[in-house]
Amino acid sequence: MTAGFIQGDEVQRIDGGYFSNDCKVVTVDNITSNSDGSYDKVWLKETESYLPSHALELATKTSQFEKGDKVRRKDGGYFSDDYKVVTVDFVTSERFYDVIWFKETGSNLQNTVLELATKTSRYSEAIDELSHERSQLFNKIGKISLTIKTLKELDSNE
């Protein structure tokens, strides 16, 4: 008997229930056969457990965002490191919302506060890059100021 799934597939329970990690969708980690060969065990990455293959089905896409999408905050705010628009790296599903992870920052936000950044000006990429560089420069200035302060304190103690 074959499960019909491969490692990396996203699966959901046929009964519509939640997994032990309170998620609706998890990732197939491995597939092994039951000891008598009557069904396949589908090992689940996020829960580190298995379910019989007949209890699972391929997950249907529920998120409005997918890898590679450009998104922005609905409130017009900035992401970390002064990005105005970021790229979706991957999406995880929680019980009541999706968590959208960003390539540029490694951080995440709930899907409910994001929108597709379909309307971008011809200067938006340049603005994002300069904003990011400005943020990095401010971080360097802060480190330099702290080093100078520390050196002055050491100098005054001699």
Q: Report the predicted TM-score, pTM, of the whole model to 2 decimal places.
A: 0.43
Residue numbers of the domain that contains 155: 64-158
Per-residue tokens: 28: 């197939």
Shared domain for 71 and 145, answered yes or no, is yes
- State the Cα–Cα distance between residues 51 and 28, nearest whole angstrom: 10
Tens of pLDDT along the chain (158 residues) come to 456 788 888 888 999 888 988 888 889 999 988 788 777 899 999 999 999 988 998 886 667 888 888 999 999 888 887 888 899 998 887 766 788 999 998 899 988 899 998 755 567 677 777 777 877 787 788 888 888 888 888 888 87
pLDDT of residue 121: 59
User: DSSP string of 81-116?
Assistant: GG-SSEEEEEEEE-SSSEEEEETTTS-EEEGGGEEE
In a domain, 1, yes or no: no
Domain boundary among 21, 43, 58: 58
Contact 5, 55 (CB under 8 A): no
User: How many structural domains are present in the chain?
Assistant: 2
Per-residue confidence (pLDDT) for residue 2, from 0 to 100:
52
Residue 4 lies in a domain: no
Task: Let me know whether 153 and 106 are in one domain.
Answer: yes
